[in-house]
């Protein structure tokens, strides 16, 4: 009875939130599945967490996609086979998503032709209340809703308030808990009753969660367009930076497209670790001469200060957040700040980046899983620059696009140093940078979760992408799966529509598979969709209006 009363109160309260909903800006916040990284047919489903059961069979299909922004190139084809009288399909998620049952919606596109007749689908959201990473009906909540689907020989968008879902079992803690602090979204399941749906031939696409109903533009699959004043500047990092030939980073990149565009980059990005020489003594300082040359040539310098020793032997002890906070490197930071102070222009400075990953010594996971240490270390470095009266530096706080691992202590906002310490917020968005055999993710799917958090909670801070890249498909992967060229095209669409708060895109032009010239189709896609697209501005002038503030 207690559980039913709680749910009843939620539903009643949602009625009084109508006015509140209208004042909340609708925005995409998490993509459960867009099917863009999956090859046609059934063979690529399991590695991507897709499953079916009973009389339902599923395949990824390209014939029914309308190839507009949200629809992409692929959708899921669902049909009935076999003697069973029940069936369904689902997607394993197992991720933290910051959901609000009072404001958020589950959305999906569906194609249910008239030949199906009137039918319905039961939708189930399984959450992890116990924290063990698996669904157990005795300790976890399951939320269900039956949605009627009117037959229609065209695609339609279904948007359902989460407040309409009802608790389906006696386990769990009686509340909808999908967030970084209280529980993960384990899976989404669609199931069908054959008695109600004697025929079944459906397609699904772009299953997502949003604040408010999924916002769309002038067409069904079109995201809301950018504002006329929106733009995105361009930057680059490349291997030339390793030898301190910073201006060559931009010149060589621009020359590789010289026959297709005269567009110039706005930002040159380079990395400065504590040391390059393989030792354990911090001795790598910024070159005033080389940075001034970058500025003189008409670019804005972006420096990532990396608090570790590169090329060192495995037994070399790397700095951690404790050693920074305790002042072990204060003299180094002080001298570093004095050098930057002499630069003849503004420097964008990124420190402790990708702290929510598991690959750097300053990452939260390597520092007692304590995000407060990220805050203290960031503030400590910032305050040293301030004490040296360095006024030409803009500080960037930059989490990775996805938190790895997905744990309650790894929520990015717990590591935010505060507005007085951060000038710009940023993300790094990669497709295929993971360990082992990486899962392919579209640009939106990889980046939208933390983009939403930053654009909502830190809307007053300019938002940048300091690193972005996609791998090529490996030779052993299907030739008909989405490729790097398509990924770049969708990145362009996202940045000029529902991710239009991003003011800078810096391509990480790493040798090999991430390099923009890794294939002719990838290079051509970048030319057509980025360099020849007026939304992406030439030179630093537009970005300088923000940097100069």
Q: HEC profile for 312-377?
A: CCCCCCCCCHHHHHCCCCHHHHHHHHHHHHCCCCCEEEEECCCCCCCCCCCCHHHCCCCHHHHHHH
Q: Is 447 helix (H, G, I), strand (E, B) or coil?
A: helix
Torsions phi, psi of 380, nearest 5? -65, -45
Q: Give the confidence band of 52 by pLDDT, cuts at 50, 70, 90.
A: very high
Helix ranges (H only) for 388-479 are 443-457
Q: What is the pLDDT of residue 437?
A: 60
Q: Supply the pTM of this predicted model.
A: 0.92
Nearest-angstrom CA–CA distance, 110 and 70: 12
Question: Hey, which of 58-62, 126-130, 439-443, 529-533 has the most confident mean pLDDT?
Answer: 529-533
What CA–CA distance (Å, rounded) separates 523 from 424?
Answer: 29
Please write the tens of the pLDDT for every residue from 328-363: 999 999 999 999 999 999 999 999 999 999 999 999
Residue 10 confidence (pLDDT): 38
Pairing mode, strands 393-397 and 347-351: parallel
Nearest to 276 by CA among 306, 304, 245: 306
**pLDDT reading at 315 higher than 70:** yes
- Cβ(544)–Cβ(300) under 8 Å? yes
pLDDT score, position 6: 42
What does the mean pLDDT of the chain come to?
A: 89
Maximum CA pair distance of the chain? Answer: 77
How many C-beta atoms lie closer than 10 Å to residue 330's C-beta? Answer: 14
416-443 confidence digits (pLDDT tens): 999 999 999 999 999 987 666 678 999 9
Res 117 pLDDT > 90: no
Average pLDDT score over residue span 79-97? 89
- Mean pLDDT on 228-245: 86
Q: What is the pLDDT of residue 247?
A: 87
Least confident of 16-20, 294-298, 453-457: 16-20
Pure H helices in 361-442 = 371-387
CA Rg value for the chain: 25
Q: Tell me what pLDDT residue 511 has.
A: 80
CA distance 359 to 404: 9
Whether 507 has a pLDDT exceeding 50, the answer reads yes
**Which sign, positive or negative, has the C-alpha torsion 294, 463, 333, 305?**
negative
Which two tokens mark 480?
A: 């008909």
Q: What are the structural domains of the chain?
A: 2-211 (2.60.120.260), 233-547 (3.20.20.80)
Q: How confident is the model at residue 22 (pLDDT cuts 50, 70, 90)?
A: very low
Q: Taking a C-beta distance cutoff of 8 angstroms, is the pair 465, 506 a contact? A: yes
DSSP character for 95? E
- Mean pLDDT check: name the lowest of 4-8, 310-314, 397-401, 474-478: 4-8
- C-alpha span between 431 and 477 (Å, rounded): 15
Q: Which of 137, 70, 130, 60 is nearest to 91 (CA)?
A: 60
Closest of 286, 299, 434 to residue 354, by C-alpha: 434
Determine contact, residues 412/456, Cβ cutoff 8 Å: no
pLDDT in tens, 258-297: 888 899 999 999 998 888 777 778 778 888 999 999 999 9
The more confident residue out of 159 and 81 is 159
The least confident of 31-35, 236-240, 321-325, 448-452 is 236-240
For the cut 60, the answer to whether the pLDDT of residue 12 exceeds it is no
Instruction: Supply 271's token pair.
Output: 């990395």
Where residue 515 falls among pLDDT bands split at 50, 70, 90?
A: very high
Closest alpha carbon to 72 in 448, 432, 473, 490: 490
């Amino acid at each position: 009875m207690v559980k039913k009363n709680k749910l009843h109160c939620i539903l009643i309260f949602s009625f009084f939130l109508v006015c509140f909903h209208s004042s909340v800006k609708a925005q995409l916040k998490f993509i459960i599945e867009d099917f863009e990284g999956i090859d046609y047919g059934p063979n690529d489903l399991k590695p991507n967490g897709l499953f079916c059961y009973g009389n339902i069979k599923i395949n990824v299909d390209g014939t029914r996609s309308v190839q507009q922004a949200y629809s992409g190139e692929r959708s899921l084809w669902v049909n009935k086979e076999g003697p069973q009288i029940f069936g369904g399909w689902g997607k394993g998620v197992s991720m933290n998503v910051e959901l609000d049952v009072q404001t958020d919606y589950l959305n999906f596109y569906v194609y249910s032709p008239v030949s199906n007749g009137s039918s319905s689908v039961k939708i189930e959201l399984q959450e992890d209340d116990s924290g063990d990473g698996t669904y157990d009906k005795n300790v976890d909540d399951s939320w269900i809703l039956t949605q009627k689907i009117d037959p229609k020989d065209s695609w339609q968008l279904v948007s359902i308030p989460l407040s309409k879902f009802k608790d389906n079992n006696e386990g769990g803690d009686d509340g909808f808990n999908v967030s970084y602090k209280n529980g993960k979204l384990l899976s989404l399941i669609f199931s069908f009753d054959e008695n109600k749906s004697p025929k079944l031939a459906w397609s699904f696409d772009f299953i997502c969660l949003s604040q408010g109903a999924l916002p769309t533009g002038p067409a069904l699959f079109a995201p809301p367009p950018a504002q006329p004043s929106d733009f995105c500047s361009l930057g680059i990092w490349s291997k030339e930076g390793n030898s301190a030939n910073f201006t060559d980073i931009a010149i060589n990149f621009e020359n590789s497209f010289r026959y297709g565009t005269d567009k110039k980059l706005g930002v040159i990005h380079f990395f400065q670790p504590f040391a390059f020489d393989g030792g354990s003594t911090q001795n790598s300082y910024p070159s005033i001469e080389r940075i001034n040359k970058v500025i003189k040539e008409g670019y804005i310098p972006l420096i990532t200060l990396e608090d570790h020793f590169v090329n060192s032997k495995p037994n070399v002890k790397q700095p951690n957040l404790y050693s920074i906070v305790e002042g072990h490197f204060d003299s180094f930071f002080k001298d570093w700040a004095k050098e930057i102070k002499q630069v003849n222009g503004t420097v964008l400075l990124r420190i402790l980046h990708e702290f929510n990953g598991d690959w750097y010594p300053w990452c939260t996971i390597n520092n007692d899983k304590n995000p407060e240490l990220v805050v203290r270390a960031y503030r400590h470095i910032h305050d040293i620059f301030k004490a040296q009266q360095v006024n030409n530096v803009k500080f960037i706080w930059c989490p990775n696009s996805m938190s790895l691992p997905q744990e309650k202590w790894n929520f990015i906002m717990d590591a935010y140093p505060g507005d007085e310490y951060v000038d710009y917020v940023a993300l790094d968005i990669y497709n295929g940078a993971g360990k082992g055999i990486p899962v392919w993710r579209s640009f939106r799917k990889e980046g939208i979760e933390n983009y939403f958090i930053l654009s909502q909670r830190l809307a007053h801070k300019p938002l940048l992408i300091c690193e972005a890249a996609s791998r090529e498909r490996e030779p052993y992967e299907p030739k008909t799966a989405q490729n790097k060229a398509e990924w770049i095209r969708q990145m362009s669409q996202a940045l000029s529509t529902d991710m239009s708060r991003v003011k800078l895109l810096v391509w990480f032009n790493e040798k090999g598979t991430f390099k923009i010239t890794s294939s002719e189709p990838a290079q051509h896609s970048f030319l057509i969709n980025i360099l020849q697209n007026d939304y992406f501005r030439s030179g630093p002038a537009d970005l300088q209006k923000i940097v100069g503030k």
